[in-house]
Chain A
Amino acid sequence: MKQNLSNNIHFKRFDWLLFLLLSFILTIGVFFVWSASSEIFLFKQIVWIVTGLTLFFTLLYFDYLSFADYAYIIYAFVLFLLLLLLVLGDSVKGSQRWFSIGAFSVQPSEFMKIAVVLALARFLKYKKYALGLFDIGISLLLTGIPMLLIMKQPDLGTALIMVPILLSILYTAGIRLSHLFLLVGTGMAISPFVWMFVLKSYQKSRIVGFLWPERTADWGAGYHRLQSLIAVGSGGLFGTGWGNGIQNQMKFLPERHTDFIFAVIAEEWGFLRACLFLLLYVAFIACGIGVAKDTRDSFGRLVVVGIVTMFATQVIVNIGMTLGVAPIVGVTLPFVSYGGSSMITSFVALSLIFNIKMRPMIDLASRRFSEAKS
């Protein structure tokens, strides 16, 4: 039964609005990566986008419920890769976040975000209406173990994104509000221990630098923050025009084409157009939540919520970072920042949303199937 339905791809239900928003975001991103770097990066970025799009459309051909079947296997596999990295990491100078396969490098921590979403959704799929403390505990473990491994890498940004993902999935799955508050409270209570035992000293100093900027000099994370604020601030209402940002072109702003790409957009486009750009993301996220709301299959719903939360958090933290209202933790701006791993992960995640939107009947079919079985 599942087979029949999965062969029937519902391209009529392809989310054109979401795709249009994506195209705007991608186009703007490409132009600013160009402005912030060079033709070589532009070319590579386009190659990544084409690769991502190919992957995106390829994945649409697979029934998303098969991701439910393999959710734990995918999770275990990516977790294994992370562990492997930690073991291998010692032999390489410093830390190690990716595997190199020829010219490509694979960053398992990026894929872990999707794997966690899938595993949580799979686990909480049948738990609706009665989320017990046990369910919450297992969900915490599913999220916490990879989080600790990723923090050890060390990649604070990617690890922290897991928190809102977990909270929004639990919230959608029907956690009691008292439990939710208990969870958040406990998290706050144990954070000093994380601070003491898990975080590296430079990560601590970045957070200190964010909370008390006057304690750090104009250098280091403080330097990043200041250069970014100057870039955004000198953009003014109308911006300096594409390719004309002095912070950008004079190379005062570090990591211009990756983590701080929004500062370039803000400098060269100014407040009005930067706001329009932000609204594209708002619409994108709202559309995403819309897909979740219309989906009747609880696995699909939880996956969409998890992924949309992932995008939203990345956007908010990344932009917050360039505006000096979030600590500098190395989070990319989805579909805009230069880089292969981030682009590919974003496209894989996005294809799940489209997939779920395109197969609305499958949940009914499978529900009928499982009802018939029990």
Chain B
Amino acid sequence: MYPLRFRIIILVFILLFFGIIVRLFQLQVIESEIYQGISHRRRIATTLLETTRGSIFDRNGKVLAVDQPTFDVSVLFKNLLHCYLNRTEQPYPFTSLKIHEDEKKQCRECRENQDVWLERLSQLLGIPQAELLNNTRQIIEKVERLKQSVERRAGKKVRIKEEIDYHPVVADIPWEKVIQIETRQADFPGIRIVPRLKRVYPEQKLASHILGYIGKLTMEEWREYREAWNNYVLASTGAETLSLLYDGYMENDNLGRDGIEAQYEEELRGMRGKRFEEITYKSSQMERVIVERPSISGNDVYLTLDSRIQAYAEKSLGTHAGSVIVVDPRTGEILAMANNPRFNPNTISEDFNRLINNPSKPFLNRAIQGALPPGSIFKAITAIAPLSSGVLNTQTAFECHGYVRHRNVTLRCASRNGHGLISLEDAITYSCNVFFYEVAKAFGRDIFYDYARLFGIGERTGIDLPHERSGNMPQVTATIPAMNIAIGQGRLLTTPLQMVRVYAAIANGGTLVQPHVLSKVINSQGEVIRRFEATYNQKLPIHPSILNSIQASLRDVVTRGTARGKGLHLYKAAGKTGTAETGRKGDYHSWFVGYAPYDNPRYCFIVLVEHTPKSSAEIACPIAAELLSYLFPEAHRAS
């Protein structure tokens, strides 16, 4: 123990506090007049001006998100005060805010005329009078506090700007009501309609996961952004001077919280304008505007999405939980990315808590965040891997008896009685499990690993949407797990987007494209300032003849294989069915992935329905056929 040391620590602290008190004395007693002098001087106040957030369009120029004016009702302060004083029967007043002498002399009717707005507004908008009165009270108290502080400093009575101004009482009223108020001005004395901007998604729930939504910036985030801004400015200019000219967010500003709104926040947000005003202490009022920098609206974002296909994809998914993606296999442009369930971004602020606690997870963008076993649709990779590494050719055949035994474990084929002697091409067409079990057994445990990685399984695709998941491509060391992975089961997890990209690569002749939803960015002058550029579009080292034979098998799936008779052949489609086991009996994930037309693919698509009691052919294939009937209307009519 060092008792002396405690005393010294205390002494150090007390000395420091003493220093602080000395400094406080210097500022508040000795130099007080200087600082009071400064605070009485003319000061410059800066105000940030509103800006418009950019709109979001689909590939055909249809508006998906836009800042729309909405209307607030503002009331002249005098009317607020009259109304409140009359109704609360406190004629002269709890407040220091005095009603002017000439107004006091007003006749009874005149005075009453100043508070009729409350009743009429309450009637027109269906808002209880008590609520309006409560808003009124809050405004009055705020103004009163400000006035008192100004008066005390001035040492005399002054009239502040807020006493003669309008104050918002009701927010966001519908357009019809605006017209009614505007046309009946005489019935609403002292009322003004003030426009404000509000984010609107005209198509409601359409593509809600891609568009995302906006939300308020919290105070802590705001401080962080500002700090980052300071950092950025100083790094680029080295001047502290600019940090006050902070142009980023204000507390309570909106910013993109998910989807495109979050991903392209920087493009969409625009820049607030700024007004520098001179304020004199005496009046606490703006004397004159020194300089004003106008706002710059945000840029418009055009997506690759086709809202017609999107709407149809969403419709064809019906009430199933799952997702549908349509992509251009040549470019990686996402034409549709439908998810069910969805949410309505227009009402997100009211619905958020209900939605976030909903067990069916309406916020989940299943197309990029749902990692599930792919089932048989993975077999395209299990076929390409041994073909490419040369351990197999397309004529290699195995005998399928309907099951395989390995060390007391029995693994079954979909066909109970077996497919007999079956070649690789037919194994894909008829989705024979045994064939791929045998491949895994015969040619090594991780024969698929390198090729799956090559096709991007277990990695994010890099799509320009937030929160994408990577899935899981396990590297196994035992035979049984390897056999399971060969048929797309086991610990293998993929997202629908990853699998549709694999088939896009098969369809386009072996190029792994980067899926994306951004098409271009256009500034407020209408100039294209940016187009999407893929950071990778990678040619896979797979021989064309191998891809040709896989393509032939995929076409056969539709004409004579597992997807036969579902109407898919009408649209010259090729593809693969998949029924992934979930580990529970009678519960499957149903997949169909394919492209069309098979000889010149323009669309590559995937359908996933989660947790169904039936197999893929029953659930996913009809949805795919319905989607194709929309994409190829001529073929539909011909049939």
Interface residues of A (CB under 8 A from B): 93-98, 105, 154, 168, 171-172, 174, 200-202, 205-206, 209, 216-217, 219-223, 226, 229-237, 240-241, 243-247, 249-250, 252, 255, 258, 266, 270-271, 274-275, 278, 281-282, 285-286, 289, 292-293, 305, 309, 312, 316, 319-320, 323, 325, 339
A275 with B21: CB separation less than 8 A:
yes
Which B-chain residue is minimally distant from A168 (CB atoms)? Answer: B9
Which A-chain residue is minimally distant from B146 (CB atoms)? Answer: A249
A266-B32 contact in complex given A219-B240, A286-B10, C-beta closer than 8 Å: no
Tell yes or no: B243 within 8 A of A by CB: yes
A274 with B28: CB separation less than 8 A:
yes
A201 with B17: CB separation less than 8 A:
no
Tell yes or no: B533 within 8 A of A by CB: no
A230-B24 contact in complex given A205-B234, A223-B244, C-beta closer than 8 Å: no
Shortest distance from the beta carbon of A309 to any chain B beta carbon, whole Å: 8
Interface residues of B (CB under 8 A from A): 2-3, 5-6, 8-10, 13-14, 16-17, 19-21, 23-25, 27-29, 31-32, 34-36, 38-39, 43, 45, 145-146, 148-150, 152-153, 218, 220, 223-225, 227-235, 238, 240-245, 265-266, 279, 281, 284
B6 with A289: CB separation less than 8 A:
yes
A266 with B227: CB separation less than 8 A:
no
The 10 closest A-B pairs by CB, nearest first: A233-B35, A94-B228, A220-B240, A271-B28, A220-B243, A219-B244, A202-B234, A244-B149, A201-B234, A234-B36
B20 with A323: CB separation less than 8 A:
yes
A174 with B228: CB separation less than 8 A:
no
Q: How far is the CA of A200 from the CA of B27 in the complex (A)?
A: 31
Q: How far is the CA of A237 from the CA of B27 in the complex (A)?
A: 10
Shortest distance from the beta carbon of B251 to any chain A beta carbon, whole Å: 10
- Chain A residues with Cβ below 8 Å from B45 are 252
B5 with A172: CB separation less than 8 A:
yes
| Secondary structure of the A contact surface, majority rule | helix
Q: How far is the CA of A217 from the CA of B245 in the complex (A)?
A: 13
Which B-chain residue is minimally distant from A95 (CB atoms)? Answer: B228
- Chain A residues with Cβ below 8 Å from B6 are 172, 289, 292-293
Which A-chain residue is minimally distant from B145 (CB atoms)? Answer: A243
A323 with B5: CB separation less than 8 A:
no
Tell me which of B20, B145, B218 contacts A320 (CB under 8 A). B20
Tell me which of B32, B231, B281 contacts A94 (CB under 8 A). B231
Shortest distance from the beta carbon of A67 to any chain B beta carbon, whole Å: 22
A266 with B28: CB separation less than 8 A:
yes
Which A-chain residue is minimally distant from B38 (CB atoms)? Answer: A230
Max chain A CB contacts within 10 Å: which of B3, B220, B240?
B240
Tell me which of A201, A217, A278, A339 contacts B20 (CB under 8 A). A278
Shortest distance from the beta carbon of B279 to any chain A beta carbon, whole Å: 8
A312 with B13: CB separation less than 8 A:
yes
A271 with B9: CB separation less than 8 A:
no
A233-B152 contact in complex given A281-B17, A282-B14, C-beta closer than 8 Å: no
A202 with B29: CB separation less than 8 A:
no
Tell me which of B5, B20, B243, B281 contacts A171 (CB under 8 A). B5
Q: How far is the CA of A206 from the CA of B243 in the complex (A)?
A: 11
- Chain B residues with Cβ below 8 Å from A232 are 24, 27-28, 35
A95 with B224: CB separation less than 8 A:
yes
Q: How far is the CA of A244 from the CA of B39 in the complex (A)?
A: 14
- Chain B residues with Cβ below 8 Å from A245 are 149
A323 with B220: CB separation less than 8 A:
no
B241 with A220: CB separation less than 8 A:
yes
Extra pairs beyond A202-B230, A226-B38 (17, CB < 8 Å): A97-B224, A154-B231, A172-B6, A202-B240, A219-B241, A221-B243, A230-B38, A233-B28, A234-B35, A235-B28, A240-B153, A246-B39, A250-B284, A266-B28, A271-B28, A282-B13, A312-B16
Shortest distance from the beta carbon of A260 to any chain B beta carbon, whole Å: 13
- Chain B residues with Cβ below 8 Å from A235 are 28, 32
Tell me which of B9, B152, B230 contacts A289 (CB under 8 A). B9
Shortest distance from the beta carbon of A59 to any chain B beta carbon, whole Å: 24
- Chain B residues with Cβ below 8 Å from A237 are 28-29, 32
Tell me which of B2, B38, B231 contacts A95 (CB under 8 A). B231
Which B-chain residue is minimally distant from A315 (CB atoms)? Answer: B17
Which A-chain residue is minimally distant from B227 (CB atoms)? Answer: A95
- Chain A residues with Cβ below 8 Å from B32 are 233-237
B240 with A233: CB separation less than 8 A:
no
- Chain B residues with Cβ below 8 Å from A293 are 3, 6
A289-B35 contact in complex given A95-B224, A236-B28, A323-B20, C-beta closer than 8 Å: no
A200 with B240: CB separation less than 8 A:
no
Shortest distance from the beta carbon of B423 to any chain A beta carbon, whole Å: 47
- Chain B residues with Cβ below 8 Å from A266 are 24, 27-28
A93 with B228: CB separation less than 8 A:
yes
Max chain B CB contacts within 10 Å: which of A97, A105, A216, A250?
A250
A275-B24 contact in complex given A201-B234, A202-B234, A236-B32, C-beta closer than 8 Å: yes
A305-B10 contact in complex given A201-B235, A202-B240, C-beta closer than 8 Å: no
A305 with B9: CB separation less than 8 A:
yes
Q: How far is the CA of A216 from the CA of B229 in the complex (A)?
A: 18
Which B-chain residue is minimally distant from A241 (CB atoms)? Answer: B152
Which A-chain residue is minimally distant from B25 (CB atoms)? Answer: A271
